[in-house]
């Protein structure tokens, strides 16, 4: 009996370490579909484009001129962990249909416009923590409202970036 239990624990450990837990405990298709549709509707509503983690890294490695914006709180997130070269501008999680300086760390829409710059065609990439976080959606939506045309959202955020083992920066 002990041998069977030990064998089971070894197999379970091996499966866990190789990333095969989804085989044993898969996310339901309904849950995955719900998440995918929510993201698709946000992108549609926001009229911006999306970039995968690998696509963003490739864009950065190519030396493409762009501005990357981390939309999470400075002290709690950006300072500890952000994509190299990213600037920080806080946005809230719920949809921000009207500009609200209480939700943007006291910064007004003109401060946002100044950070983005005068080139309306410059690639702008917004990210937050992970796919369910919608701060990056708000940043991308507001860039589009201000007339910027080349707006991207990196929905996987810093979590996907770090999981891909890409470098991160901190503020000391």
Looking at residue 11, what is its pLDDT? 44
Phi/psi of residue 111, nearest 5 degrees: -65, -40
Nearest in space to 142 (alpha carbons), one of 102, 111, 105, 106? 111
Place of tokens 């963003």: 56
Q: Quick check: helix, strand or coil at residue 90? A: coil
pTM to 2 decimals?
0.83
Expressed in angstroms, the distance from the first to the final Cα of the chain is 54
DSSP state of 149: S
pLDDT band (50, 70, 90) for residue 1:
low
Looking at residue 172, what is its pLDDT? 87
- pLDDT tens per residue across span 145-171: 999 999 999 999 999 999 999 999 999
pLDDT-above-90 percentage for the chain = 74
pLDDT of 20 above 50: no
**Which domains, and CATH codes, for the chain?**
49-172 (3.40.250.10)
Question: How many CB atoms lie under 10 A from the CB of residue 4?
Answer: 8
């Amino acid at each position: 009996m002990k041998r069977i239990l030990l064998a089971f624990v070894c197999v379970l450990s091996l499966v866990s370490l190789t990333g095969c837990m989804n085989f044993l405990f898969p996310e339901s298709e309904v849950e995955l579909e719900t998440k995918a549709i929510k993201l698709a509707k946000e992108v549609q509503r926001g009229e911006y484009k999306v970039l995968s983690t690998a696509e963003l890294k490739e864009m950065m490695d190519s030396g493409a001129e762009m501005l990357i914006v981390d939309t999470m709180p400075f002290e709690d997130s950006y300072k500890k962990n952000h994509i190299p070269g990213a600037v920080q501008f806080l946005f809230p999680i719920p949809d921000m249909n009207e500009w609200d300086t209480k939700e943007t760390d006291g910064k007004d829409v003109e401060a946002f416009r100044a950070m983005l710059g005068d080139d309306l065609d410059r690639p702008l990439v917004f990210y937050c923590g992970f796919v369910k976080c919608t701060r990056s959606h708000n940043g991308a939506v507001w860039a589009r409202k201000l007339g910027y045309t080349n707006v991207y959202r990196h929905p996987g955020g810093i979590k996907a970036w770090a999981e891909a083992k890409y470098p991160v920066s901190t503020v000391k």
